[in-house]
Structure 1
Amino acid sequence: MPDRSSPTRDDVDAIAAWSVIRAARVLARRLGDVLAPLGLTPVEFGVLVQLGATDEPDHRGTADGLAEPATGLAQADLARAVGVRPQSMTTLVVTLAERGLIDRGSERGRGRRSRIVLTDAGRAVLAQAYPVVLASNAWFGPDAATSAALVATLRPMLGGPGGPVDDVP
């Protein structure tokens, strides 16, 4: 067992959580570099792609199976899905709305649960950014199974489709 007061580089590299954190920082920088020409940060892409995922008609909520119109996401739900603090989401939402990429709804205000949706301009930017981000899977090797295995390994820590798990063991 290594001496806890003086770990070696191998001891440090054997800490899975720390390795994932370090890798996440490197990947965020690389993703930022490939998104910069589109005028997006990785977190802004996260907002657009999460909203884009809510653009699909929802057949689950209707008795007759007809599609419900896109409902968007509440700001708190969007913050959870993207993995940022709600306070940070406020600035992101304002910025993206000012750029015309999202619509915050007309009934904003304290105690009102407005839904945020993509605008046509937001969908157009997402249509450009999505293939660029999807291509980043190749960073993990030429075999698509490698990136799929990585996603499968990380998914339990990220929770379900709605966002991260609050209590990570």
Structure 2
Amino acid sequence: MGKTTRLLPGEGTDKRGPDGYLGYLLRQAANGYRHRVETSLRETGLTQPQFAALTMLDAYPEHSSADLARIALLTPQTMSTILRNLENAALIRRHPHQEHGRKRRIELTDAGRQVLVRAKRLVYALETDLAEGFSEEEQRTVRRWLVAAGGRSLEGGATKP
């Protein structure tokens, strides 16, 4: 007898569609989005984690590497590696902190600001595409739900009734 090949369901169908599990669909969406971001960022020379680090550093200056790691949902070790690579590329600079001995102040260089502006333009275009077909109110609803779902995940617990 010949071997029967079963086709996998396509994206958006069966359990990969509206009838799928929320967790799986979130992962599917996140993986697809991350791939699109990585592809778009190639022309800037940044990876998605580097873009996240620069974005968080721009939004929250004067924070430590450990703080940035928490905000960007990365481990301190991963953030340390990312920052070292950004420093080697002359996109950030680190200085001793005036008030805290071991803490180092991290800041964007002019080159870092320039590449971040280009990268944000590319990523914001993806965000616009992602939100296409949703009203402002629907987008706010999705954002609120994602924040709540992320908060519950970080707390590590089940939702309260």
Q: Could you state the TM-score of these two structures normalised by the residue count of structure 2?
A: 0.74
CA shift at 1:139, angstroms? 2.4
Q: Residue deviations 1:86-106, cap 9 Å, x none?
A: 111111010000111111223
1:47 equivalent in alignment to 2:47: no
Gaps of 5+ in 1: 1-8, 55-70
Q: Partner of 1:167 in structure 2?
A: 155
The percent identity for this pair of structures is: 30
Q: Partner of 2:31 in structure 1?
A: 25
Q: Residue deviations 1:83-134, cap 9 Å, x none?
A: 1111111110100001111112236xxx711122211111111111112111
Structure exhibiting the larger radius of gyration computed from Cα positions:
2
The answer (yes or no) to whether the contact 2:96–2:105 under 8 Å persists in 1 is: no
CA shift at 1:152, angstroms? 2.4
Query: CA–CA distance in 2 between the matches of 1:132 and 1:18?
Result: 27
Q: Residue deviations 1:19-44, cap 9 Å, x none?
A: 11121111111100001001111111
Greater RCO between the two (CA within 8 Å, min separation 6)?
1
CA shift at 1:72, angstroms? 2.2
| Cα RMSD after superposing both structures | 2.5
**Residue 122 of structure 1 aligns to which amino acid in structure 2?**
G
CA shift at 1:166, angstroms? 4.1
**Residue 45 of structure 1 aligns to which amino acid in structure 2?**
F
Larger mean Cα displacement after TM superposition, 19-28 or 42-51: 19-28
Q: Number of aligned pairs? A: 138
Gaps of 5+ in 2: 1-13
